[in-house]
Amino acid sequence: MIFEETYTLSNGVKIPKLGLGTWFIPNDQAAAAVRQAVSIGYRLIDTAQAYGNEEGVGAGIKSCGVPREEVFVTSKVAAEHKTYEAAAKSIDESLMKTGLSYIDMVIIHSPQPWAEVNQSENRYFEENRQVWKALEAALAAGKVRAIGVSNFLKEDIDSLWDAAKVKPMVNQVLCHISNTPAALVSYCQGKGMAMEAYSPVAHGEALKNEGIRAMAEKYGVSVPQLCIRYDLQLGMIALPKTANPGHMKTNAEVDFTISDEDMNALMNMEKIRDYGEYSRFPVFGGKK
């Protein structure tokens, strides 16, 4: 079962290979979604300060009927927090909102504030080093068990790496069929970082892609199952987002293997460039 499979982070902490993403799940629906996911078998729940649902996620964790230490919870320092003080305060606020005594992992949501993603050349190297120090302090204090980054490119990793006392353990990035940052994934994995894939189904756009649909039919699986399996075979942690219990269940039914030839074909498939109504979000290349 995929739910029993884990990676071991560089500090020895284990993280499940498949998790539930909670982006766009409203706070008042998050607790029920978490409880449902945990009942199905999920043990990794991914939230963020920017999602506005940390309170609901925390309530779901506390009421799911599974011991706290068996569920891995991730949150993210908001992209706009670029000082030690702001980052440290935000971590304490996340703990307060979730009502948890610790968060398993906290990561920097973006190297740049969202308003500057795809708009500015400023990579905020020094500011991110200060944010990282706040994460290191939270780790040392036992507020978190692991720390990492998200949406960081090679130059962002390198800048942080040289200054960090504790090296980044994870980089969470957009990675799906037809849009795979293969060089970045390889680089980070080569440095011992675990890689996480958000939006593995391209925020639903993969469902409309003829080539992806044809490949899914070849394997007798759904498009989301193919997409999730693809990321898993890249050695990544997959974080599909859904509040639908049926989708949660089928998303975990990925006990099949994509051939090397087909993996190569999927990796080199024409890039999805239009994410529909979500194209405005910086992570999909648009403007906030």
As annotated, the active-site residues are: 51
Rounded CA separation 96/84 (Å): 19
- The first and second tokens of residue 100, run together, are 């948890």
Q: Which amino acid is at 62?
A: K
Nearest alpha-carbon partner for 229 in 194, 201, 271, 207: 201
**Strand residues in the chain grouped as ranges (E):** 6-8, 14-16, 20-21, 44-46, 72-77, 103-108, 144-150, 170-174, 194-198, 236-239
Residue type, 41: G
CA angle, 134 then 49 then 11, to 5°: 45
Nearest to 127 by CA among 89, 87, 167: 87
Residue type present at position 174:
L
Q: Which residues face 46 on adjacent strands?
A: 21, 74
Question: What's phi and psi for 64, nearest 5 deg?
Answer: -85, -10
